[in-house]
A and B are shown apart, each in its own frame.
Chain A
Amino acid sequence: AQSVAQPEDQVNVAEGNPLTVKCTYSVSGNPYLFWYVQYPNRGLQFLLKYITGDNLVKGSYGFEAEFNKSQTSFHLKKPSALVSDSALYFCVVTDSWGKLQFGAGTQVVVTP
């Protein structure tokens, strides 16, 4: 069985400061990992994915994620947070035929 864990229910950060959202994974074989973001009353938006290759993955809206195989982590990062980044972030793992397994989600609150 595969799974992802997001240890923080909420992350608070001041605008302009670095933002990190943590995720650890448990899979058999090579992991396919994603980050999605959900704004209030809206669907999920794809941010980025890791399949293979470089451990630093760049995505939409200035986000990036660092894959660490030894620590089984896939943390989402943004160098300078914006108030508009306030949203619910999901770490996701997929199996070979595309069943997405979502983490519990981390609420990000960016204060002006």
Chain B
Amino acid sequence: DAGVTQSPTHLIKTRGQQVTLRCSPISGHKSVSWYQQVLGQGPQFIFQYYEKEERGRGNFPDRFSARQFPNYSSELNVNALLLGDSALYLCASSLEGGRETQYFGPGTRLLVL
């Protein structure tokens, strides 16, 4: 079975631009979470979605938004990019959300110049 997939794998943007990252969960998983991992640090929680509804949001500015589609795939959007948004963006899926095990995709590495 395919794991969590993310696209693109790498992305280079300039300050002020907007970016959309995509995630497809493991088949049968209804919950998707997004994390940001800055170099040298552990991942930080951004959003969790379950059945197309936002279940939780981390301490990130409103420039960050996300949505989940009927097929349970998800998009993370970041507007007005800053240099500090350069990071590895990880998507994770789980069956029902909550305390279930989350399985991570390979991530999208975003570089903002």
Contacts and interface: CB of A to CB of B under 8 A. Distances in A.
B42 interface: yes
Contacts of A99: 33, 45, 48, 56, 58
A98 B55 CA distance: 9
A-side interface size class:
20 to 34
Given A43-B90, A44-B90, A98 B41 contact: no
A98 B104 contact: no
A42 B104 CA distance: 10
A104 B42 CA distance: 5
B107 A101 contact: no
A100 B98 contact: no
Interface in A14-66: 32, 34, 36, 42-46, 49, 51
Interface in A60-112: 90, 94, 96-105
B25 interface: no
A98 B100 contact: yes
B72 interface: no
A34 B101 contact: yes
Given A94-B99, A96-B98, A97-B48, A44 B104 contact: yes
14 contacts: A36-B104, A46-B101, A46-B103, A49-B101, A90-B42, A94-B99, A98-B33, A98-B55, A98-B94, A98-B102, A100-B102, A101-B45, A103-B42, A104-B42
